[in-house]
């Protein structure tokens, strides 16, 4: 194991706990522990600082053109390789909740890859990505540009539930 392996391993660990503590904060608030919730928000923010440093020193932050290309590769791998494999395994084990979660994520990642491709083309042409409003489906992570469909094509919730991203 060399330093670059350590950076990658530490980044993975920090990113995971950042997300965990974020979820734990919501549970604590739900249970009425406002100060424990705040502590979890603080630790989550601390792990965000660590993960950002690790990305930076590991050389994983490039120009926007490079970052979009990295994003496309990751989204395509998730939607074409990882999630299809995970869905098959979950189906064989009859874990229907996992099948649904994996399936939604697989389809959302495919949508992300398409949008990244459009953004990459714009940036290569010296322009910004052409979008006024970006809407996010709060259930499955699908993203729609400028207007929402009547129902989310991935998970089926009404388009009026989508949130505009600030």
Minimum distance of another protein from residue 46's CB (angstroms): 3
For another protein, give the closer residue by CB, 40 or 151.
40
Minimum distance of another protein from residue 159's CB (angstroms): 16
- Contact status, residue 67 vs residue 117, Cβ threshold 8 Å: no
For another protein, give the closer residue by CB, 138 or 151.
138
Minimum distance of another protein from residue 156's CB (angstroms): 15
For another protein, give the closer residue by CB, 150 or 166.
166
Is the CA virtual torsion 56, 60, 66, 70 positive or negative?
negative
For another protein, give the closer residue by CB, 16 or 151.
16
Spatial neighbors of 161 by CB under 8 A, at least 6 apart, are 137, 138, 139, 152
Q: Which tokens hold the place of 127?
A: 């322009």
For another protein, give the closer residue by CB, 13 or 80.
13
Is the CA virtual torsion 88, 90, 93, 95 positive or negative?
negative
Minimum distance of another protein from residue 44's CB (angstroms): 9
Spatial neighbors of 119 by CB under 8 A, at least 6 apart, are 68, 129
- Residue 61: what are its φ and ψ, rounded to 5°? -105, 115
Minimum distance of another protein from residue 9's CB (angstroms): 8
**Secondary-structure breakdown of the chain: helix, strand, coil percentages, each rounded to the nearest 5:** 70, 5, 25
């Amino acid at each position: 194991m060399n330093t670059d392996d350590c950076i990658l391993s530490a980044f993975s660990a920090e990113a995971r706990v950042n997300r965990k503590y974020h979820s734990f904060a919501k549970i604590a608030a739900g249970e009425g522990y406002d100060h424990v919730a705040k502590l979890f928000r603080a630790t989550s923010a601390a792990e965000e600082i660590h993960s950002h440093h690790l990305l930076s020193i590991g050389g994983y932050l490039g120009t926007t053109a490079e970052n979009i290309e990295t994003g496309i590769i990751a989204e395509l791998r998730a939607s074409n390789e990882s999630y299809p494999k995970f869905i098959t395994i979950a189906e064989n084990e009859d874990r229907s909740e996992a099948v649904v979660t994996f399936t939604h994520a697989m389809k959302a990642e495919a949508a992300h890859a398409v949008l990244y491709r459009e953004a990459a083309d714009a940036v290569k042409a010296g322009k910004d990505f052409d979008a006024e409003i970006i809407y996010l489906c709060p259930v499955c992570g699908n993203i729609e540009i400028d207007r929402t469909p009547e129902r989310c094509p991935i998970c089926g919730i009404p388009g009026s539930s989508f949130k505009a991203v600030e």
